[in-house]
C-alpha cells in the first residue's frame, strides 16, 4: 500500500515536471504574431466616426503624471467623452519608468490595453514592433489625414520596418502630442549680474561658466542619480562637437558612424574637463533629477540643461527669471539640439477596440488638442506657431520653431540599440564620476553600437 502510493505520487510528480518542461518554449505559447495582421484594417474601410462604434470601453495607459501634463490629458479625456458618450475611457496613469516595466507584459496578454504610450526608441517600441505587438497605423493615418497633419520628420520618429530592424522609416506605429527638446535653461538675473548674454557658442558658454564660477555661483545645476539625466547632459555636450549626420546615425542605430571618431573624443574630453573644472554642481552623482531642477528653480545655479517638459514647472517656480536657448554652437557649427517627440500613443495589436483607439488618438492630437496642450504650459508637437504664448513658453516655442526650420533636432542617444539605455547611463556616470577616461567611455559605447549594427 505504502509502496504503491509513493510510486504513484512519484510518477505523477515526474509526469508533471516533464509536462511543464516539455511545454512550449517561452514566447511560443498563445497565438501571437497572427493576431496583429488579421486585426489590421484595409485602406478605405476605416470608420472615422466614433459615434457609430456602439458602446465601447477604451482602456488607456499613459505616463502624463507631471503637473501640466495631467491637466491637459484629463481635459482632453473629458472633452472626448462628452463628444462621444458611447465611449468610456478607463485611464491608467503611471510614471514613465513604471509604465515601461509593466507594458511588456500587458502588450503580450490577451487582455491588452487599447491605447498605450510606448517610448519610441529601440529599447521599447522597436522590440514591440519586432514582436508584432503593435498595430501599424498607416490605414488610420489615411482615413484621418495624419500624413498631412504630421510632417515626415515627426512621423519618422515613430516609424519602423515591419520586423523592427529599421528605425525611421516604414510603417507608422504611434503619434505624439508634444514636441520636446533638451536645451539650456538659464537664470536671467544671474546672467545679467555677470554681465553676460545667453551663450551662442561653446566659447561663450565656457567663458560664462568660468565667470559664474569666479563669482561663486554653481555654473551648471545637475543631478545624475536618476540615470537618464546623463543621456541628456552628454547629448548636450555632443551636440556642440559632432555634426547632425553622425549623431543621427548613432542615435538611430544605423551603421556608418563611430563613437570613437575625433568629434566624439572631443565631446567626451570636454565633458570630462568640465567636471574637473568644477562646472557641474557638487556631488551630482548623488543628486536626483527633480532635486536638481528644483535647486535651480530656487536660485542655485546659473544654467540647467533640461527638456521642455519642465516649462510649466519652471515657469510657476521662477516666473520671468528663467530663459531658454538652444545649445551653443561649437565645432559642429550649428545649434544642434537633442529631442523630437514626447512618448507616442500607440495601439496594441491585441486591443479589441482599435477603431475607437484610433479615434481617441486622432482626438488628442487634433488642432484643438494642440491648443489644450499649450494652455497647460506644454509644447505641442505641431502648430506651435499658431498658439499665443508669453514668457518662458514663448522662448521655448521660438527655439522649437528654429530647430524645426533649420533641421537641428537630433535623436536621444538611448534610441540606438535595445540595451543602449543601460549602457550609456552607466557609462556617463562612470565618465563624470572619474571612474573611466574619455577613451574607455567611448569604447564602451562603441562596443554596444557595433554589436547591434554589425559595423
Q: Which of 91, 430, 450, 452 binds another protein (CB under 8 A)?
A: 430
Query: Which of these ranges, 55-63, 278-286, 357-365, 383-391, lies near another protein under the rule CB under 8 A?
Result: 278-286
What's the N-to-C CA distance of the chain in angstroms? 68
User: Taking CB under 8 A as the rule, does residue 3 contact another protein?
Assistant: no
* Residue 232 C-beta: closest distance to another protein, Å: 16
Closest CA to 49 of 143, 138, 137, 114: 143
Round to whole Å and give the CA distance between 276 and 281. Answer: 12
Query: Which of these ranges, 13-21, 139-147, 315-323, 347-355, lies near another protein under the rule CB under 8 A?
Result: 13-21
Round to whole Å and give the CA distance between 340 and 79. Answer: 27
Q: Which of 2, 45, 49, 111 binds another protein (CB under 8 A)?
A: 2
* Residue 305 C-beta: closest distance to another protein, Å: 18
* Nearer of residues 10 and 433 to another protein, judged by Cβ: 433
Binding pattern for the stretch 23-62 against another protein, x by CB under 8 A and - elsewhere: x-xxxx---x------------------------------
Contact 437, 426 (CB under 8 A): no
User: Taking CB under 8 A as the rule, does residue 14 contact another protein?
Assistant: no
The C-alpha cell 478605405 sits at 44
User: Taking CB under 8 A as the rule, does residue 260 contact another protein?
Assistant: no
Contact 59, 345 (CB under 8 A): no
* Nearer of residues 23 and 192 to another protein, judged by Cβ: 23
Handedness of CA 130, 345, 172, 234 (dihedral sign): negative
Contact 427, 436 (CB under 8 A): yes
User: Taking CB under 8 A as the rule, does residue 100 contact another protein?
Assistant: yes
> What is the DSSP pairing of strand 115-117 with strand 56-62?
parallel
Round to whole Å and give the CA distance between 271 and 291. Answer: 22
Round to whole Å and give the CA distance between 173 and 120. Answer: 9
Residues forming contacts to another protein in the complex (CB under 8 A) are 1-2, 5, 16-17, 20-21, 23, 25-28, 32, 100-101, 104-105, 107-108, 123, 127-128, 130-133, 224-227, 281-288, 291, 418-419, 421-422, 425-426, 429-430, 433, 435
Amino acid at each position: 500500500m505504502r509502496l504503491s502510493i509513493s510510486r504513484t505520487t512519484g510518477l505523477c510528480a515526474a509526469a508533471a515536471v516533464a509536462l511543464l518542461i516539455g511545454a512550449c518554449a517561452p514566447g511560443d505559447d498563445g497565438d501571437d504574431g497572427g493576431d496583429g495582421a488579421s486585426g489590421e484594417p484595409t485602406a478605405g474601410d476605416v470608420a472615422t466616426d466614433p459615434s457609430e462604434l456602439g458602446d465601447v470601453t477604451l482602456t488607456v495607459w499613459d505616463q502624463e503624471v507631471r503637473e501640466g501634463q495631467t491637466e491637459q490629458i484629463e481635459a482632453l479625456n473629458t472633452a472626448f467623452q462628452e463628444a462621444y458618450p458611447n465611449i468610456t475611457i478607463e485611464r491608467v496613469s503611471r510614471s514613465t519608468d513604471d509604465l515601461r516595466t509593466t507594458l511588456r507584459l500587458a502588450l503580450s496578454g490577451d487582455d491588452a490595453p487599447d491605447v498605450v504610450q510606448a517610448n519610441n526608441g529601440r529599447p521599447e517600441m522597436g522590440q514591440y514592433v519586432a514582436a508584432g505587438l503593435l498595430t501599424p497605423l498607416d490605414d488610420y493615418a489615411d482615413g484621418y489625414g495624419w500624413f498631412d497633419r504630421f510632417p515626415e520628420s515627426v512621423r519618422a520618429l515613430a516609424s519602423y520596418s515591419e520586423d523592427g530592424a529599421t528605425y525611421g522609416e516604414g510603417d507608422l506605429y504611434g503619434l505624439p502630442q508634444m514636441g520636446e527638446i533638451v536645451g539650456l535653461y538659464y537664470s536671467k538675473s544671474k546672467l545679467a549680474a555677470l554681465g553676460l548674454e545667453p551663450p551662442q557658442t561653446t566659447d561663450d558658454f565656457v567663458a560664462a561658466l568660468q565667470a559664474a564660477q569666479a563669482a561663486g555661483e554653481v555654473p551648471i545645476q545637475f543631478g545624475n542619480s536618476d540615470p537618464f539625466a546623463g543621456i541628456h547632459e552628454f547629448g548636450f555636450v555632443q551636440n556642440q562637437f559632432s555634426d547632425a549626420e553622425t549623431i543621427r546615425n548613432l542615435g538611430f542605430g544605423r551603421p556608418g558612424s563611430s563613437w570613437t571618431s575625433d568629434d566624439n573624443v572631443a565631446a567626451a574630453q570636454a565633458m570630462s574637463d568640465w567636471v574637473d573644472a568644477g562646472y557641474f554642481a557638487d556631488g551630482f552623482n548623488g543628486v536626483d533629477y527633480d532635486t536638481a531642477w528644483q535647486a535651480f528653480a530656487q536660485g542655485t545655479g546659473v544654467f540647467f540643461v533640461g527638456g521642455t517638459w519642465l516649462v510649466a514647472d519652471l515657469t510657476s517656480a521662477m516666473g520671468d527669471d528663467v530663459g531658454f536657448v538652444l545649445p551653443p554652437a561649437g565645432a559642429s557649427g550649428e545649434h544642434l539640439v537633442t529631442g523630437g517627440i514626447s512618448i507616442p500613443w500607440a495601439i496594441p495589436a491585441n486591443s479589441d477596440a482599435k477603431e475607437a483607439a484610433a479615434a481617441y488618438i486622432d482626438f488628442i492630437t487634433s488642432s484643438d488638442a494642440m491648443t489644450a496642450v499649450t494652455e497647460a504650459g506644454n509644447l505641442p508637437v505641431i502648430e506651435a506657431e499658431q498658439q499665443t504664448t508669453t514668457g518662458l513658453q514663448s522662448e521655448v516655442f521660438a527655439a522649437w520653431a528654429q530647430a524645426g526650420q533649420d533641421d537641428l533636432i537630433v535623436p536621444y542617444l538611448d534610441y540606438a540599440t535595445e540595451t543602449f539605455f543601460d549602457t550609456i547611463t552607466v557609462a556617463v556616470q562612470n565618465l563624470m564620476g572619474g571612474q573611466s577616461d574619455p577613451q574607455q567611455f567611448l569604447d564602451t559605447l562603441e562596443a554596444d553600437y557595433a554589436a547591434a549594427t554589425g559595423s
